[in-house]
Amino acid sequence: MKSFPKHERLDHLGMAASIACAIHCAALPLVITALPLLGLEFLANTGVEISMICLSLIVGIYSLRISYPKHRKVLPVLVLVTGFLLIAAGHFIFESLEALIVPLGGFTIAAAHLINWKYGRRCKHQ
């Protein structure tokens, strides 16, 4: 089994967390009434959403902090910031479009990890 370097594992975790956050935000309005029947009402809790966003933020910053000095590409940082700006805009500015904008932000954060991961794999020095 292939062992991935630390920054690659962080990008994999970041992609998974961001996609889970996006799916959570997109699917929750559709299945919110069924959650208590399935014993999953905790997923509708604001704390779960905040926890997912914080996890994505921590992993994203840490992952980019480790790999940026190796590839020195600013694109993953810009895409990550754009993703979090979309999430913030969906929560605080465009609340009526939250179900559309917040998942887009989650997928944008996942894209930042994917870009960072690809840059890290191309970089052979260090």
In this prediction, residue 122 carries a pLDDT of 80
Q: How far, CA to CA in Å, does 104 sit from each of 21, 39, 46, 97, 100?
A: 10, 27, 18, 11, 6
In this prediction, residue 55 carries a pLDDT of 82
Share of the chain above pLDDT 90, in %: 15
What's this model's pTM, rounded to 2 decimal places? 0.70
Domain total of the chain: 1
Q: Is 42 within a domain?
A: yes
Q: Is 115 within a domain?
A: yes
Q: Is 1 within a domain?
A: no
Angle subtended at Cα 77 by Cα 81 and Cα 9, rounded to the nearest 5 degrees = 110
Full domain range(s) for residue 17: 6-122
What's the pLDDT tens digit per position in 67-101?
A: 888 889 999 999 999 999 999 999 889 989 988 89
Q: Is 38 within a domain?
A: yes
